[in-house]
Amino acid sequence: MTRQRQFTAKPIHVGANSRAKRNSFVNGVIMKKIICIILLLSILITALASCKGVTIIEDESESMITTTGEDALIEIDHSYDWQYDYDFNYDPGTVEGDYIFNNAEAKNSSLILKRNIHTGECTTVCTDPFCKHNSASCPFYKTIYVVGIGNTMYGVMRDDNINKNVLYSFNVDTNKKEIIYETTATIYDLLQYKYYIFFRPTDKGPLRMDTRNGETVSIKSQPGKIGSVSGDMIIWIQEHKGEMATFTATDLFGNDPKPYNIYIYNGKLHGVIYDEQTGKASYVQLDRNGETEKMLIEHSNKAIIVGSNMLYLGDGKTTRPVDHDDPSKGEVSTAGDIYIAPLDTFKSRLLCHIEEAEPYTWGTSNLNLMLCGDWIAVMIFPNHPLDEDKIGIFNDMVIVNMKTGEYHISRYIE
């Protein structure tokens, strides 16, 4: 806050001679002030020209740089005083249901698959068993994105019958398909959070639909695109050529934008160290100087954030005891292990060990997780024999319960 000083001057009574001297003195002071003002304006104009639209905003609690125009908000230092700290209430952002949905390519066919979280059974969403999924007669032809809420799948497709791009819903219990939104423009960024569907037609900007009542509202657009939605926040990503991407967080309407650091949990800054030779990652806690303070997870496969937890795969090179209470019972490779680490403590525990297959990589990213209630689908590398014309290798997954560790192997073989 800027404080202004107030001065109270008493009147001065002088004679004519003294008044003339005083006028001469005042005129001199005014000229000096004018010269100073001109110099200050010159310096200010030069500084503004060099800043190219950058405005410095300072207050008693923080300092940041905001850029005008098309540039994003750039963080200076909010590592330990963050507006949007992580909410550790367990909230993966999904509702209860029976299926996880995903789309896959098979030869010249585009498959839309549903996986039963209770059994792992994988079948096509299309109810025609003879459909090749490669013609405009297929109701799911040219579907490029799918997400699920409960037992209803939402997809974006190109409908050549009406020459438009559409957002549709399909309930697998009733086999009923409904067109929700259609446009001649392209639709991008289909995401799901709780009961909401987020999507972006190129001619309208980002929209949010409430699947409970069909209400669709516009979202105030921010620089970049919607990367993820969690904790009642929209996380916007803006890519910069040759530089690190910047992140901005807003509420679910796109309001109140603030810089966001995806590596800050529980008020502490974390970093990721990648080993380019092995492709493994180590997660560390950093001090205020950016130096490693504590090793949290060492040499794991790719990790993802789900609700208030981090899930990651064992590196496959190390082993763990079969029985932690009795290490003499032998060891087992961590290749089939999925671990879970709460973000507030980072105390990892073994969630489950998959004996049927060795995990190869995550089948989803942070941007659009395949979730259903407490279940998440993870891509695995199959160890069962495959013919050249089979596509199971692209669609083998393990569906695991993030609370209990129960899991099912889900395979689709054409």
Nearest CA to 77 out of 277, 339, 289, 250 is that of 289
- The whole-model pTM stands at 0.73
Domains of the chain, by residue range, sit at 267-414
Angle CA 122–134–369, to nearest 5:
45
Name, in order, each residue with C-beta under 8 angstroms of 174's C-beta and a sequence gap of 6 or more: none
Rounded Cα distance between 152 and 277, Å, is 42
Rounded Cα distance between 171 and 180, Å, is 13
pLDDT by position in tens, the chain (length 414): 333 322 223 332 333 444 344 444 434 444 444 444 444 444 333 333 333 333 222 233 332 323 333 333 333 344 444 445 555 666 667 788 999 998 876 666 678 889 999 999 998 898 887 777 778 888 888 888 899 999 999 999 988 889 999 999 999 999 999 999 999 999 988 999 999 999 999 998 999 999 999 999 999 999 999 988 888 889 999 988 888 788 888 999 999 888 887 788 777 788 888 888 877 888 898 877 778 889 998 888 778 888 888 888 888 788 888 877 787 888 888 878 889 998 888 889 999 988 765 555 555 544 457 889 899 988 776 544 455 555 444 567 889 999 999 999 888 766
Rounded Cα distance between 410 and 352, Å, is 16
